[in-house]
Amino acid sequence: MFVDKVLVHVKAGHGGDGAVSFRHEIYVDKGGPDGGNGGRGGNVVFEVSQNENTLVRFRFKQELTAENGVNGSKRQRQGANGEDLIVKVPAGTQVFDGDRLIADLTEPGQRAIIARGGDGGFGNAHFKSSTRQAPQVAELGEKGDEKDLTLELKLLADVGLVGFPNAGKSTFLSVVSNARPEIGDYPFTTLTPNLGVADIDDTSLLIADIPGLIEGASEGKGLGDAFLRHVERTAVLLHLIDIYEDDVAGAYKTIAAELAAHSKALSKRPQIVALTKVEGLPEDGIEAKLADLKKVVPKSTPLFAISSPAHINVTDLLRQARKMVEAARKKAAKEQPEGDAKPLIGLNAEQEAIAWRVTKNDDTFMVRGTKIEKFAARTNFATEPGRRRLRDIMRKMGIMHELERQGIEEGNTILIGKARAYKLTHGDQ
Q: For ligand GTP, which is the closer residue by CB, 106 or 189?
A: 189
Q: Tell whether residue 194 is a contact of Mg ion (CB under 5 A).
A: no
Binding partner of residue 410 among ligand GTP, Mg ion, none, CB cut-off 5 to 8 Å per kind: none
Candidate list 76, 110, 190, 320; residue touching Mg ion; CB under 5 A: 190
The answer to whether 294 and 303 have CB atoms below 8 angstroms apart is: yes
Q: Tell whether residue 71 is a contact of Mg ion (CB under 5 A).
A: no
Comparing C-alpha atoms, which of 244, 234, 239, 233 is closest to residue 279? 244
Q: For Mg ion, which is the closer residue by CB, 190 or 307?
A: 190
Q: Tell whether residue 192 is a contact of Mg ion (CB under 5 A).
A: no
Candidate list 37, 78, 94, 170; residue touching Mg ion; CB under 5 A: 170
The answer to whether 181 and 119 have CB atoms below 8 angstroms apart is: no
Measured from the CB of residue 180, what is the shortest distance to Mg ion in angstroms?
A: 12
φ/ψ (deg, to 5) at 249: -65, -40
Element (DSSP H or E) covering residue 299: none
Q: Tell whether residue 189 is a contact of Mg ion (CB under 5 A).
A: yes
Binding partner of residue 276 among Mg ion, ligand GTP, none, CB cut-off 5 to 8 Å per kind: ligand GTP
Q: For ligand GTP, which is the closer residue by CB, 220 or 411?
A: 220
Residue type, position 350, single letter: E
φ/ψ (deg, to 5) at 389: -65, -45
What's the CA gap between 188 and 192, in Å, rounded? 10
Integer CA distances (angstroms), 283 to 26, 251, 289, 290, 314, in order: 105, 21, 10, 11, 17
Comparing C-alpha atoms, which of 12, 40, 54, 42 is closest to residue 149? 12
Site string for ligand GTP, 280-319 (x = CB under 6 A): ---------------------------xxx----------
Tell me the β-bridge partners of 238.
161, 272
Measured from the CB of residue 196, what is the shortest distance to ligand GTP in angstroms?
A: 12
Q: Tell whether residue 93 is a contact of ligand GTP (CB under 6 A).
A: no
Site string for ligand GTP, 193-212 (x = CB under 6 A): ------------------xx
Measured from the CB of residue 170, what is the shortest distance to Mg ion in angstroms?
A: 3
Binding to ligand GTP (CB under 6 A) within 142-171 occurs at: 163, 165-171
Measured from the CB of residue 336, what is the shortest distance to Mg ion in angstroms?
A: 33
Radius of gyration of the chain from its Cα atoms, rounded to whole angstroms: 29
**194: number of Cβ within 10 Å:** 23
Comparing C-alpha atoms, which of 248, 228, 313, 229 is closest to residue 278? 313
Q: For Mg ion, which is the closer residue by CB, 170 or 320?
A: 170
The answer to whether 338 and 331 have CB atoms below 8 angstroms apart is: no
Q: For ligand GTP, which is the closer residue by CB, 222 or 417?
A: 222
Q: For ligand GTP, which is the closer residue by CB, 97 or 279?
A: 279
Integer CA distances (angstroms), 209 to 155, 305, 332, in order: 10, 19, 23
Question: Which of the stretches 153-161, 170-178, 227-235, 289-297 binds Mg ion when contact is defined by CB under 5 A?
Answer: 170-178
Q: Tell whether residue 379 is a contact of ligand GTP (CB under 6 A).
A: no
Q: How far is CA 215 from the centre of its chain?
A: 32
Comparing C-alpha atoms, which of 209, 218, 222, 213 is closest to residue 163? 213
The residues binding Mg ion (CB under 5 A) are 169-170, 189-190
Q: Provide the binding-site residues for ligand GTP, judged by CB under 6 A.
A: 163, 165-171, 183-185, 187-190, 211-212, 276-277, 279, 307-309
